[in-house]
Amino acid sequence: MAGGTELTSNSYIQHHLQNLVFGQLPAGYERVDAEGHSHVLDHAEWTIAHSPQEAVDMGFWAINLDTMGWSIFLGLIFLFFFRRVATAKQTGAPSGFTNLVEMIVEFVNKNVNDIMSVKNPLIGPLALTIFVWVTLMNTMDIVPVDLLPLTAQFIAGDPHFYFKVVPTTDPNITFGLSIGVFILIIYYSIKMKGVGGFLGELAFQPFGKYMVPFNLLLEGIALIAKPVSLALRLFGNLYAGELIFLLIATLLGAALPFFIGSFLGGVLQFVWAVFHILVVLLQAFIFMMLTIVYLSMAHEHH
């Protein structure tokens, strides 16, 4: 979105789906600023990307500031309120937010006890953290699509400032969560069964010792599919939901007069937001349940 370029539906959607990326551009890199002027960097520079292409050119070590900021902020909110309830002195029956927190803890604890055949004190807190943290990150998808990005643009004083507010629409977050779960799966598989038992399940199941290559292929794919499916399911559903909000905002605004399009767009976005609440909770629940199931399988012998 260079300066002087007319805002189109395509550029509007691309702008809202682009992260605020911080990384290093190499010496000799040609940059184009918001006004359309180009200049060449004399030396390597750590900076914020001005375009999606610059974000790509920053390479592996670039970081999405908005994703990291919102995910950490929402995680701190979770810790603050749950710790406040846990350390508060209660007299009588719980009420209000305390009652809600206890309901969530009991709900997660029941699912863990129903699925886990082996008691492990780590699984309950892990499942609770995943459920609440993912729910909070998903809930950012219900915030009006223009509210926070436009606020960030106003504060930064740059009409082309990128600001993506739903962490789970960034595959870096969803894969980060799923890879963490995957590491725990490997760890408990080896801890409970030993290295030989773990490798034996990969090599000799399900078709016995005479089909080792075929067993390794099947079990290897099944093992790798666990973190990949966890990450892509969460990312895909939330990304699609965010995209639908943007499409509603752009298509109606382009096809109808401003006031009519704004009104109908607001109504449809409200209807979609109400329905999307189910997606927000369901995806967090699915991620939590699959985590518990996978870790339960890791604790069991074949």
Q: State the amino acid at position 116 in one-letter form.
A: M
Considering 19, 111, 237, 296, which one is annotated as catalytic?
Answer: 237
Considering 11, 99, 113, 229, which one is annotated as catalytic?
Answer: 229
Number of neighbouring beta carbons within 10 Å of residue 181? 20
Q: Residue 104: its pLDDT value, please?
A: 93
DSSP lists the bridge partners of residue 45 as 25
Q: Residue 259: its pLDDT value, please?
A: 52
Catalytic residue at 10?
no
User: Which candidate, 67, 29, 21, places its Cα nearest to that of 47?
Assistant: 21
pLDDT tens column, 233-279: 999 999 988 888 777 777 665 555 555 555 566 677 677 777 778 88
> For strand 38-40 and strand 45-48, is the pairing parallel, antiparallel, or unpaired?
unpaired
Domain range list for the chain: 9-63, 65-299
Q: Residue 11: its pLDDT value, please?
A: 74
pLDDT tens column, 169-192: 999 999 999 999 999 999 999 998
Give me the numbers of helices (H) and strands (E) for the chain, helices first please: 9, 5
State both tokens at 68.
């990291």
Q: Are the CB atoms for 31 and 2 separated by under 8 Å?
A: no
Give the alpha-carbon dihedral of 192, 195, 200, 202, to 10 degrees: 90
Catalytic residue at 31?
no
Q: Residue 2: its pLDDT value, please?
A: 42
Catalytic residue at 9?
no
Considering 31, 120, 233, 262, which one is annotated as catalytic?
Answer: 233
Which residues of the chain fall short of a pLDDT of 70? 1-9, 34-36, 90-95, 251-266, 269, 302
Q: Tell me how far apart the alpha carbons of residues 219 and 212 are, in angstroms, rounded to a whole number.
A: 10
Q: Are the CB atoms for 104 and 284 separated by under 8 Å?
A: no
Q: Residue 3: its pLDDT value, please?
A: 44
Q: Residue 71: its pLDDT value, please?
A: 96
